[in-house]
Amino acid sequence: MLKPTVGPIIGHTTTNHARIFLRGELQNNALVFAGIRYRRLGDERWSKGTFAKLTPLRDMADVIALNDLAAGTEYEYQAGWFSPMSPVHTVETVQELPLQWPREIYRVRTPSHTVTTPRAYIVGSCRYLRMTLGMPSASHLGDRIFASITKLAQHAAPPISALLMTGDQVYVDDLNIIAPDRKLKEILRKYRAAFSQPNIKTLMSSVPTYMILDDHEIEDNWPANKSNDDDYLYKNAIAAYELYQASHSPAHEFLANWQPDQRLKRYWYQFTEGDLEWFVTDSRTRRNLSADDRRILDAEQEQALCNWLIHSPARVKFVVTSVMFYPDRKTLGDDAWKAFPEQRLRLLETIRTHRIKNVVFISGDVHGSLTSRLTHSDDPDFEVHTIVSSPLCNSKLLPYAKASTFILDQPLARTAAGDYRHELTSEVISQDNFAHLIVDSEQIRVSYHDRDGNQLQSTHIKLR
């Protein structure tokens, strides 16, 4: 067996289930299979291999689900791909072959059942990897920060439960001015390059990774900048996104046999760890820009989000939106929630009138990081927080956000019932960085780190 050409990437992981993405390579039209075997840390005997048949229709990649795992347990696993001699093999018959597995051993930990266990997460967005003639140039710059995240994760207490990548994991449009990539094979090549760099590959092979797209997975400021001939681009960009980012996410719901449903109905999804819940929104592909019903989330998604906010028993509710919920930018803000004030106000009023506590919005996009608190002038019980983390790696062509980038001297919204007012609770970080979140019984500690892992600042959000 050979090492994966991309991956392994650990995706959605529960107390008894893990999804692992990996890619092989086409072998002269011969059959190709990918496989994974695993064991508890400390055990000698490996499980039987679990296999998937790889096809060119999926870029020789697939997701293998591991089931019947134990909660709060660390596992070792091996992953690889091969082409058997016989052209009649199936995923069942290859289990009987005497395979020589790649020597590299990876680790994954399932979350604990214990509700009160402190949890930790890494949050980041906007990872620019410059491509020249289909190859990454100066790739060490786009990969450097992931070595620091891996080092932190290897020593973190509590252990890192997940890596949240909240948009612009791949810049499909980085050469739009010179030679735009529009063909599927060109976009897939970018994904392979982006996810096979050594440091990000090491990180994603050991930490469950949850992703959601933003505009650069398609085109800058999509769909506002959409032209008449962009349907072809969108079709190919979305096909690549579904394969490399959505395939291992909870967007693929469980079937009765605890296998992921191959049908993908939507890109937004939810997941739970203990008494913490995450609602990862698709704030990019379901937009309605018409004047009579402007929406950043479609009606179905908005209703699902409101129902979750109202009825979920979670102690802390994280809402991921790739673009900023607040504060608003002074300029270039029409790509974010600033341009959809009616829908934003509906969400805020839902939170306020139902007295929902400990709602935290997580976002990226702006190439600057900050935390901010939102209150209401006439309702002392209302409080919402936002945590922004961006960028993991900036382009030299794009500026970093600063405090002066944002509208901070006026209410976010005015209503007959009072004003929504916000204030920064941190400095604005204007350099490459990532956020480390620790959630315990009393607070969320948010620490930002630079690309070398050095802590830049730390803030605390008190839970109610």
Same domain, 290 and 437: yes
The amino acid at residue 279 is F
Q: Which residue has the higher pLDDT, 182 or 144?
A: 144
Q: What is the pLDDT of residues 136-152, one digit of tens each?
A: 767 778 999 999 999 99
pLDDT of residue 21: 98
DSSP calls for 296-335: SS-HHHHHHHHHHHHH---SEEEEE-SS-SSSPBSSSGGG
- Helix residue ranges, H only, 243-294: none
Of 109, 138, 161, the one marking the end of a domain is: 109
Q: What is the pLDDT of residues 275-308, one digit of tens each?
A: 999 999 999 999 999 988 999 999 999 999 999 9
Percent of the chain with pLDDT over 90: 88
Domains of the chain: total: 2
409 CB-contact burial (10 Å; exposed 0-12 / middle 13-18 / buried 19+): exposed
Of 109, 127, 144, the one marking the end of a domain is: 109
The amino acid at residue 274 is G
Please report whether residue 1 resides in a domain: no
Same domain, 367 and 402: yes
121: β partners: 162, 437
Please report whether residue 389 resides in a domain: yes
Same domain, 105 and 129: no
Same domain, 161 and 131: yes
Please report whether residue 348 resides in a domain: yes
Q: What is the pLDDT of residues 160-175, one digit of tens each?
A: 999 999 999 999 988 6
Please report whether residue 114 resides in a domain: no
Please report whether residue 236 resides in a domain: yes
Q: What is the pLDDT of residues 10-27, one digit of tens each?
A: 999 999 999 999 999 998
175 CB-contact burial (10 Å; exposed 0-12 / middle 13-18 / buried 19+): middle
Domain span holding position 125: 119-462
Of 109, 136, 151, the one marking the end of a domain is: 109
pLDDT of residue 176: 60
Same domain, 307 and 403: yes
Same domain, 368 and 443: yes
Contact 401, 366 (CB under 8 A): yes
Same domain, 131 and 102: no
Same domain, 168 and 244: yes
Same domain, 93 and 182: no
Same domain, 87 and 158: no
Token pair of 61, please? 């990649």
Q: What CATH number is associated with residue 385?
A: 3.60.21.70
Please report whether residue 285 resides in a domain: yes
189 CB-contact burial (10 Å; exposed 0-12 / middle 13-18 / buried 19+): middle
Same domain, 323 and 213: yes
Q: Prior bond to 411 cis, omega within 30? A: no
Q: What CATH number is associated with residue 15?
A: 2.60.40.10
Q: What is the pLDDT of residues 208-250, one digit of tens each?
A: 999 999 999 999 999 999 998 899 999 999 999 999 999 999 9
Where b means 16+ CB within 10 Å and e means fewer, 272-310 reads ebbbbbbbbbbbbbbbbeeeeeebbbbeebbebbbeebe
Contact 315, 463 (CB under 8 A): yes
Same domain, 286 and 387: yes
Looking from the CA of 284 toward its CB, the CA atoms found within 13 Å total 30
